[in-house]
Amino acid sequence: MRVVGRGVDTTLYDPARRSSALRSSWKASELAPVCLYVGRLAPEKNLALVRKTFKAIQAHHPAARMVWVGDGPSARQLASEDHDHHFAGLKQGEDLATHYASADMFLFPSLTETYGNVVAEAMASGLPVLAYRCAAAAELISDGVDGLAVSPGDERAYVAGALELAASPDRLAEIGCSARQAMLPRNWGRVVQSFEAVASEIFAR
């Protein structure tokens, strides 16, 4: 048995897409951390922890911004309760990639994922990802090197990790760069080559 693994489009998801204009539309300065969530806005995604985590960050960094990308049954309630957050709605293609690259950290507290493509997309975009050590995060993140992965369900460690990242722009940049480098070998071209190699080996038997 061989595991080929999943890939990520490292050409589409690229830190070079960072946009000062988009950050300005979020009312975010270059000195204030921007936290991003991308995915379905629904209770099973553990979005309460995103809100709790950002509130803790905001207490130390009042100019921090929270950006939500996606839609779902919780969207209206979230928007009505968090007036200072930015709700971008559904995004696709280059628009989505620009949203990734223009943030500073990715908050992903879900415990219900079978994989979670957004983790790889965020990392390819040069974002430090904070996630529970399960699903894609367990496979992709080297804790403390190219992201932070905490024990599943440990909310205290999750919030502490976010505060650690937000406290050091240099640390954010270092981890973000490592995240990008970690995803480059996982581009779809290499994944397809691996699949072809396995298929050729099987057919040759």
CA 68 to CA 38: how far, in whole Å?
Answer: 6
* pLDDT over 80 (residue 54): yes
* pLDDT over 90 (residue 30): no
Question: Residues 148-162: pLDDT tens digits?
Answer: 999 999 999 999 999
* pLDDT over 90 (residue 201): no
Question: Residues 109-141: pLDDT tens digits?
Answer: 999 998 999 999 999 999 999 999 999 999 999
- Residue ranges of domains in the chain, CATH in brackets: 15-185 (3.40.50.2000)
Question: Residues 77-120: pLDDT tens digits?
Answer: 999 999 999 999 999 999 999 999 999 999 999 999 989 999 99
pLDDT band at 199 (very low <50, low <70, confident <90, very high): confident
What tokens appear for 200 in the block?
């050729």
* Torsion angles phi and psi, residue 89, rounded to 5: 80, -165
How confident is the model at residue 3, as a pLDDT?
Answer: 80
pLDDT band at 58 (very low <50, low <70, confident <90, very high): very high
Instruction: Report the amino acid identity of residue 82.
Output: D
**Angle between helices 47-60 and 155-166 in degrees, nearest 10:** 40
How confident is the model at residue 5, as a pLDDT?
Answer: 82
How confident is the model at residue 2, as a pLDDT?
Answer: 78
How confident is the model at residue 17, as a pLDDT?
Answer: 98
Q: Which residue has the tokens 């996982």?
A: 186
